[in-house]
Amino acid sequence: MNEFRPFYLGRYKILGELGRGAMGVVYKALDSALARVVAVKTIHIQDPNIALTQEDVIETFSQEAKIAGALTHPNITAIYDIGYDQGIHFFVMEFVEGLTVESAIEKSMQMLIIEKLKIIATIARTLHYAHKRNVIHRDIKPANVMILENSEPKIMDFGVAKLKGGPLLNKSQVGKIFGTPNYMSPEQIKGEDVDHQTDIFSLGVLAYEFITYKRPFLATGLKELFHSIVDKAPPTLSSYDQSVPVELEEIILKALSKDKTERYAYSNQFADALELFIDQMETADAVSERVLITDEKQKVIEALKKNYMFFSDFEDSEIVEIFKLSSRDVFDAGRLIFEEGSAANKMFIIIEGAVRIFHKAQQGAEIEISVLKDGDCFGEMAIIDNSPRSASAVALNKTIVVAINEIVLRITHPALCVKLHKNLASIISEKLRKSDQRLHELIEREKREPGP
């Protein structure tokens, strides 16, 4: 094997090859201006069977950079730059290390089913983020999802993504079918106009394969494969793995419905179903942990109603009901409760102990935001919009918390959830009002006390 010789594309020092496909090569590189490691994707057509002109490929390449670059989400590979140098078109993206779902499947990697489901649910939430911005991926498959060291997934490769309702990129795409055959939806195979539902089906295939390590649609050739996807029901997951519960089978198979109107209407509904099932799994053998002991419960209720406006108009019985639907978790000193950028669906109330909230700056430096103690709440933005965590939380000593799962609350007690949403929205609105007021005061002070 020839030794790789580093070279430059613009300000990016190319250090080595990470992988190559039919239309491009991805390199590991160093951004000489920002001193950070990145990935650089270039155009390099190797497959003679690709019936696209160089102009078509460049246009498709540019479209991928623009679509993915418009999506800012911790579970989507970030696009930093696009450029042209020495006759080479390239774009620069986040360098991620980990294991693809495809590799995990190929190795039959030993993972708890609950860990797999959390990854799938996060992918579904991330797709919902993209879908809300009218982006359809069209090629969701195990090879395009990286599992990082912290078990968070990253969706990669928006090479065949499209904007919902957007025009075809060029004339060469008329009549073309985009995607990877084993993960295509029936409507993709039939050449119909696709919407976000196609990604839900593809994620269903990924979920099926990730859980069982078997594909739902097997065939000896492309024609037979397409026939199976369009017309044949997949085997039950339990036919491959008897430990898969019937309830989980129903969740996955709904995503694989041939008729897209019978699938989940939106990918966040798929995530909701998975996360509700996860919650049931986590508490099935620990029902007693759902309910706090009487004196502890009363102490917390009084503290919440006294210290937090959004609990002040709740009846004691309503707060008790929230506790019954919540888990009581214990974190030892130094244990991470959640990480910045991770998926969020729970808020926490500290029963005992202390929690440090911090933000990670560039070069790994930590910026402390606050230290919270008994009776304090944190992570409440998860209750509002399931947005990724904007900071990390770690236990400073042995800490006991109540974790309120928004999805469980919304599905089992919608009236309580609406009340909590309304009260939290009022609090956030008040925080914004105070922030605006402080900003106005600072501006006025600057006007009165101009600098030198």
Residues 340, 409 share a domain: yes
Domain boundary among 284, 303, 325: 284
CA trace torsion 426, 431, 434, 439 (10° rounding): -140
> How far is the C-alpha of 425 from the C-alpha of 419, rounded, in Å?
10
Neighbours of 131 (CB within 10 A): 20
Judge residue 253's burial from the number of C-beta atoms within 10 Å of its C-beta, 0-12 exposed, 13-18 middle, 19 or more buried.
middle
Q: Which tokens is 357 given?
A: 């909230």
Q: Residue 375's closest CA among 436, 286, 447, 305? A: 305
CA distance 210 to 199: 16
Q: What is the DSSP letter of 345?
A: -
Residue-number span of the structural domain to which 407 is assigned: 287-434
Q: Is residue 137 classed as helix, strand or coil in its secondary structure? A: coil
Token reading at 316: 């004691």
Q: Mean pLDDT in the chain?
A: 83
Statement: residue 104 has pLDDT above 90: yes
Last residue of a domain, one of 94, 126, 149: 94
Is residue 335 within 8 A of residue 411, CB to CB? The reply is: no
Three-state secondary structure call for residue 151: coil
- Is residue 269 assigned to a domain? yes
* Same domain, yes or no: 277 and 311: no
Do 280 and 165 fall within a single domain? yes
Asked if residue 73 belongs to a domain, the reply is yes
* 220 & 186 share domain: yes
Q: Are residues 129 and 264 in the same domain?
A: yes
pLDDT confidence of residue 150? 84
Q: C-alpha distances in angstroms, 191 versus 144, 289, 309, 422?
A: 22, 51, 54, 44
Do 406 and 344 meet the contact criterion of CB atoms below 8 Å apart? no
Task: Say if residue 175's pLDDT is above 50.
Answer: no
Q: Give the CATH number for residue 207.
A: 1.10.510.10
Looking at the structure, do residues 248 and 131 belong to the same domain, yes or no? yes
- How many structural domains are present in the chain? 3
| 347 within 8 A of 377, measured Cβ to Cβ | yes
Residues 262, 139, single domain; the answer is: yes
In angstroms, rounded to a whole number, what is the distance separating the alpha carbons of residues 321 and 291?
A: 9
**Residues annotated as catalytic (active site), given as ranges:** 139
Q: Which two tokens stand for residue 207?
A: 């979920």
Dihedral sign for Cα atoms in the order 265, 267, 272, 277: positive
Give CA–CA dist 16/27, Å, rounded. Answer: 6
Contacts 24+ apart (CB under 8 A), 447-451: none
pLDDT in tens, 9-65: 999 999 999 887 666 789 999 999 988 999 998 876 555 555 556 676 777 777 777
Buried b (16+ CB within 10 A) or exposed e, 274-297: bbbbbbebebeeeeeeeebeeeeb
**For residue 36, what is the domain's CATH number?**
3.30.200.20
| Identity of the highest mean pLDDT range in 7-11, 22-26, 171-175, 444-448 | 7-11
> Residue 304 is encoded by which pair of tokens?
């919440």
Pairing, β 99-100 against β 162-163: unpaired
pLDDT in tens, 367-418: 888 899 887 888 887 667 667 788 899 999 999 888 888 787 777 788 887 8
**% of the chain surpassing 90 pLDDT:** 41
Return all residues near 239 (Cβ < 8 A) that are at least 6 apart: none
Residues listed for the chain: 452
Contact 319, 307 (CB under 8 A): no
User: For residue 450, is it within any domain?
Assistant: no
Q: Which of 209-213, 282-286, 312-316, 329-333 has the lowest mean pLDDT?
A: 282-286
- The residue out of 284, 303, 320 marking a domain boundary is 284
Instruction: Kindly tell me if the per-residue pLDDT of 363 is higher than 90.
Output: no
CA-to-CA separations, 190 to 177, 178, 194, 258, in angstroms, rounded: 9, 11, 10, 12
Whether residue 77 is found in the same domain as residue 48: yes
Based on DSSP, count helices (H) and strands (E) in the chain, helices before strands.
14, 19
231 sits in which H/E element: helix 222-231
Assigned domain for 1 exists: no
Please check whether residue 318 lies inside any domain of the structure: yes
Amino acid at 448: R
Are 229 and 291 found together in one domain?
A: no
- Domain presence at residue 198: yes
448 found inside a domain: no
Query: What gap in Å lies between CA 148 and CA 159, rounded to an integer?
Result: 21
pLDDT of residue 52: 58
Arithmetic mean of pLDDT, 287-308: 64
pLDDT tens-place string over residues 282-291: 766 554 444 4
Please report, as a single letter, which amino acid is at residue 348.
F
173 with 263, same domain: the answer is yes
Residues 105 and 250 placed together within one structural domain of the fold:
yes
- CATH code for position 313: 2.60.120.10
**The residue to which tokens 């590189």 are assigned:** 29
Query: Is the CA virtual torsion 313, 317, 318, 323 positive or negative?
Result: positive
Distance CA 392, CA 397 (A): 16
Are both 143 and 237 inside the same structural domain? yes
What is the rounded distance in angstroms from the CA atom of residue 237 to the CA atom of residue 220?
Answer: 21
